[in-house]
Structure 1
């Protein structure tokens, strides 16, 4: 039986070398997981039921087990190169056929789908038009290159405050009382026509001014200028505003068109007026008419009036130079997609030319109770089997799933030093098994030549 035992040993060493050779060949394959050959001894059946006199008849390949250990992370210049740090697999789709991979080298196809080098599509949770991601059945992720629609000031979705905020503004308590409100309109109206055109406010009639850009429903920017005037009433300041230097009459801050509102401060310089002001309206039609009358041909068909809130929370009246407020507003013009990024939680964000960011989708990961039960399909892909169990699908960094890192890939986990040592070991095993066959042949030759 030594021939059979030796042959099985030669076969075992050959198979082990095949596995080692495959590991070495894929030492630079992104997402590759090394494998090791597992062998089991073979015994003939015994009718006596006792193993005391049994002699083994060799070895056989029991399994080829892949080692799903973490590979090193290497950075790249592609934002769609994604590595997994921890457990899990990317979930890929090909015409509805699902496979799994650790290779995160992705790019966009002509239709905006995120695909790998085999044109399999990455799956995840899509985002709605407002950028809200709701976990559901994973779908093939498609990145839209459409422009981001404009949002008028005060029309943002989900914001706690909608409009313009001028927080932390200080108005100098030492300021002297200015002259009465005074402004000139250009071109000069011809009586009894209604005054139209641009309005120039006399700097002597106010103490401080500041401006912020606001946006209408078409994404047109407008400059809204606020004028602050100290009054004879202690701690009281008047506020007026115009837009694109047109008449005060086009702006209602809550007290009527063109009528100033009051900000009241206590003896400690703290604002006591109720905030926010939720009734600011701008007559865009009148604004457009004034500009046209002034020789600036700017017709505007945006939704009118433009309405939003105004918040001066945190404003003070201290003995310091006026200014210092943080001006913010929630509108923006349309924007083109300039780039994308992927967060640790798999959320894909689009960056737009108008400075906005919008969620475009979320990559999902899948994990298995027994990853060694997956069957290899080649091309860095694995498929689910009854041995692997069903996948647990979810967002990265949840449960047992790992986190994602953009601009990076996971290298092969092959340890070349260990593989080369294993190669030498299997070579010795092969030589030793060949020697048992050679020895058995010598013995058999001696027996045949007996006289």
Structure 2
């Protein structure tokens, strides 16, 4: 009976919905995480010569799992190397092993013993080069964010700060402050087409389009908020409602299979 397969498709879709919601809930406190939702389509048995008044449904299928890149709540941390983006941009990072460029909304940066700025996922932060006055010298390409441990006078590095305009300043023991670069923000034509690769990192695809690098506060990339981090955009109350709905859908499809089984058993008993 086709009703078995129709209800089975509903069970599978409900399971996908449950898995997606569970993933959202599990990352409700993950910095820079973006929630996802499942989109479904119906299936019908229909041909060019079939009667439209007798079209039979065959269940449903997953159309896509869509990412939601709406802005999450901003938490003030007061930490100098914490930066949030108030806009659509992404921080660009480089995988030091594969040299692949990734993109993230998690602005929790750390300074390595060699002066390299890394994300919490151990990706090398990317920036635009600047001159001694902090003016960007080129936006054609990004470079690794590296802070010199000593300045030209031989003074040791004492502190690193990131301003709202993206300028990375290095303070030294002799009281001097030197700009070493300016953070690069990447934007995409269709961010929903980005592929998640884990650790709140994404990579661009043909669906998302190539990254366009911008200076902070210029264009739709957005402005930077120093001493702050963007929280996950997961709404627990909304996810719990979705969880109950997915559970009810699963139970209803299971009940439909049980009813179809009873029909089949009745027919078998009649034949006997």
Say yes or no: TM over 0.5. Answer: yes
Deviations, residues 214-247 of structure 1 (Å, cap 9, x unaligned): xxxxxxxxxxxxxxxxxxxxxxxxxxxxxxxxxx
Q: Which runs of 5+ in 2 are unaligned?
A: none
> Aligned residue for 1:138?
142
2:9/2:61 contact within 8 Å kept: yes
What is the alpha-carbon distance in structure 1 between the residues aligned to residue 136 and residue 230 of structure 2?
27
Whether contact under 8 Å (2:46, 2:56) holds in the other structure is: no
1:99–1:383 contact (8 Å) kept in structure 2: yes
> Corresponding residue for 2:262?
442
For the 8 Å contact 1:114–1:142, the answer to whether it is kept is: yes
Give the structure 2 partner of residue 75 of structure 1. 76
Q: Output aligned runs, 1:174-323, within 5 Å.
A: none
The whole-number CA distance in structure 1 between the counterparts of 2:32 and 2:184 is 17
Q: Which residue of 2 aligns with 1:116?
A: 119
Partners of 1:386 and 1:50 lie apart in 2 by: 39
CA offsets per residue over residues 407-439 of structure 1, 9 Å max, x none? Answer: 211100000000001101111111111111111
- When residues 117 and 31 of structure 1 are mapped into structure 2, their CA distance, relative to the original with a 3 A threshold, is same
Whether the 8 Å contact between 2:134 and 2:167 is mirrored in structure 1 is no
1:38 and 1:119 map into 2 onto residues whose CA distance is 33
Q: How far, CA to CA, are the matches of 1:417 and 1:53 in structure 2?
A: 41
TM-score (norm 1): 0.57
Asked if 1:367 corresponds to 2:161, the answer is no
Distance 1:354 1:405 in 2: 28
The separation in 1 between residues aligned to 2:134 and 2:216, in whole angstroms, is: 18
Q: 1:100 is matched with which residue: 82, 99, 103?
A: 103
Structure number having the greater helix percentage: 2
Secondary structure of 1:369's aligned partner: coil
Within 1, Cα distance between the matches of 2:165 and 2:133?
19
User: What SS is found at the alignment partner of 2:219?
Assistant: coil
RMSD across aligned C-alpha pairs, in angstroms? 1.6
Deviates more, 1:107-116 or 1:421-430: 107-116
Query: 1:44 offset after TM fit, Å?
Result: 2.0
Q: Match of 1:19?
A: 20
Cα deviation 1:128-169 (Å, max 9, x = unaligned): 4565431331011100111353xxxxxxxxxxxxxxxxxxxx
After the TM superposition, which parts of structure 1 deviate over 4 Å for at least 4 consecutive aligned residues?
129-132
| Alpha-carbon distance in structure 2 between the residues aligned to 1:424 and 1:390 | 38
2:132 and 2:178 in contact (8 A); partners too:
no
Tell me, what secondary structure is at the counterpart of 1:449? Answer: helix
1:382 aligns with 2:215: no
List gaps (5 residues or longer) in structure 1.
150-333
Counterpart Cα distance in 1 of 2:245 and 2:77:
37
Q: TM-score, normalised by structure 2?
A: 0.93
**Other-structure match for 1:284:** none
Give the CA deviation at 1:69: 0.4
